[in-house]
Structure 1
Amino acid sequence: MKNITFGISFLFTLFSFAQVSTNKAHDAIVEEFLTNCAQKYHYGFEMSEWQACLDQGLKKDSTVSRLWFKCKKYEVGMQYLNKAVFYNKQEWLPYRGFIKCIFAKTYKDAIVDLEECIKLYGNGYRMDHPYSFYIGICYLQLNEYEKAEKLFDDYVTDIYKNRQQLEHPTAYFYQAIAKYELKKWDEAIAIFDKALKIYPEFSDAKYYKAICLFKLGKSKEEVNTLIGSAKEDAAKGFSINEDNTIYETYPYQKKFIK
């Protein structure tokens, strides 16, 4: 019995080491072919060069899920991410929840993952925001605005309580969007203004604030002036300020027609 126990423990140790080694190998491939290769090129107009870098990385190891997601091949990438979650849930379950929310846009599945993260590990952070922030985005996309409002209100309250945590314009933006969807125009404007105080060129905040002003019956001149300013800022690249907006359009991110 003792030998069997030792054998199982030894195999588990080897298996765990193999998983750690694989993750380190994956990280090295991401650094070589995404960070040091693809990101030398502009994602908007040098897509062939960008894609060539990712393809090289995937030829080296096709199981690197992050490269598939940067290629917008979500279904392919998810099978490898699911394996990563199976082997190391604490590390990869939050990332999978984030991917489902922002990239794959499978919002109900994202909520399941992120709520499990909170239950198991607390309301930790991924990509600068707590898990509850992404659940809030999911609820916005599922038209469950009251649930989204509560989550964003709590998030912003926590920011105020924690003086070491900086106010975040994106947090204010989605809090205001929840108010906007609930037709709380005055509240939404006040919160959009908080986002704009931190990030004055925030085109998306200006656009939705303009709609709120219109709903409140403000003058066409005031509304059109603000929309014009939003278009100018958007043309200069000032939009939702999140790292992954280079790959995916975030919910409520305004794309102006030229």
Structure 2
Amino acid sequence: MKNITLGISLFFTLLSYAQVSTNKAHDAIVEEFLTNCAEKHNYGFEMSEWQECLDQGLKKDSTVAYLWQQKAMPYFKCKKYEVGMPYLNNAVLYNKQEWLPYRGFMKCIFTKNYSEAIIDFEECIKLYGNGYRMDHTYSFYIGLCYLQLNEYEKAEKLFDDYVADIYKNRQQLEHPTAYFYQGIAKYELKKWEEAIAVFDKALKIYPQFSDVKYYKAICWLKQGKSREEAIALISIAKEDAAMGYTINEDNTVYETYPYQKKFSK
């Protein structure tokens, strides 16, 4: 029995050592071929040089997940989704915990493959719990996907739970985008009064939130409020949008988010 215990202990010691050694080896490859090579180039106009550096690193070790993700990333940013996704799939293959939620995010916000995004995020929750990616929980993105698939009741439940969790924990500050989508779910379910109440919470945090003002104005119209008041609020929303006050997620630089209002000039 003592020998078995010692054997198990030795196995886990060697496994831990192997993981540390692998991580150090991967870090060295990332430094050599990403930091000191690819990042010397601007992938906006030197894509081939960027990719050649990463390819050299992957020839050295094809299991470095971060290099696969870095191959995918610039293609997504220039909307070459079909080119980038196979590289991202390889990143998930070699480091699922890190890159599966990222792939779900890319499918939700960039490629708009909502059913596939739900599958990725549900697997994330099953394997790792309801963690965060890009400032929001995995269930938040599932809610976005349900909005885009017209499954509004499912979306409402997820956003209600998300906002309640934020309020309960308080470690995560109340987020105007969370309120926006909670309100949108209620708007789609024709719960005009509830939607307005939630939109007002978003505006309390972010008074210039143009998208919220637009949908609040539509709710007013649906309630029978005067057309003049609704149009006045839409005009204010349009002015706010012209100054850049829209959904303030980082990736709105690259993609339009669900229900983000683009006002004509």
TM-score normalised according to structure 1 size: 0.84
1:1-258, aligned counterparts within 5 Å?
A: 21=28, 28=35, 32=39, 51-52=44-45, 54=47, 56-61=49-54, 63=68, 64-258=71-265
Aligned-residue offset at 1:61:
2.6
Q: Tell me how far apart the structure 1 counterparts of residues 155 and 29 of structure 2 sit (CA, whole Å).
A: 37
Please identify runs of 4+ aligned residues in structure 1 that moved more than 2 A.
12-33, 53-63
| Structure 1, unpaired ranges of 5+ | 39-49
**Are the structure 2 counterparts of residues 237 and 27 from structure 1 closer, same or farther at C-alpha, using a change threshold of 3 Å?**
farther
Cα RMSD over matched residues? 2.7
Query: Structure 1, residues 70-125: CA drift from partner, whole Å, max 9, x if none?
Result: 12111111101101101110000010000000001000000000000000000000
**Are the structure 2 counterparts of residues 88 and 26 from structure 1 closer, same or farther at C-alpha, using a change threshold of 3 Å?**
farther
Query: Structure 1, residues 162-211: CA drift from partner, whole Å, max 9, x if none?
Result: 12220000000000000000000000000000000000000000000000
Q: Tell me how far apart the structure 2 counterparts of residues 237 and 213 of structure 1 sit (CA, whole Å).
A: 24
Q: Using the aligned pairs only, state the percent identity.
A: 68
Aligned length in residues: 238
**Are the structure 2 counterparts of residues 233 and 115 from structure 1 closer, same or farther at C-alpha, using a change threshold of 3 Å?**
same
Deviates more, 1:114-123 or 1:16-25: 16-25
Query: Structure 1, residues 43-92: CA drift from partner, whole Å, max 9, x if none?
Result: xxxxxxx8215554234336511111112111111101101101110000
Q: Tell me how far apart the structure 2 counterparts of residues 113 and 24 of structure 1 sit (CA, whole Å).
A: 29
TM-score normalised according to structure 2 size: 0.82
Structure having the higher Rg: 2
Q: In the alignment, is the contact (CA less than 8 A) between 2:109 and 2:255 conserved in 1?
A: yes
**Are the structure 2 counterparts of residues 234 and 190 from structure 1 closer, same or farther at C-alpha, using a change threshold of 3 Å?**
same
Counterpart in the other structure of 1:42 = none
Deviates more, 1:156-165 or 1:239-248: 156-165
Q: Tell me how far apart the structure 1 counterparts of residues 33 and 76 of structure 2 sit (CA, whole Å).
A: 14
Aligned-residue offset at 1:28:
3.2
Counterpart in the other structure of 2:59 = none
Q: In the alignment, is the contact (CA less than 8 A) between 1:204 and 1:239 conserved in 2?
A: yes
| Structure 2, unpaired ranges of 5+ | 1-10, 56-67
Q: Tell me how far apart the structure 2 counterparts of residues 176 and 25 of structure 1 sit (CA, whole Å).
A: 47
**Are the structure 2 counterparts of residues 30 and 133 from structure 1 closer, same or farther at C-alpha, using a change threshold of 3 Å?**
farther
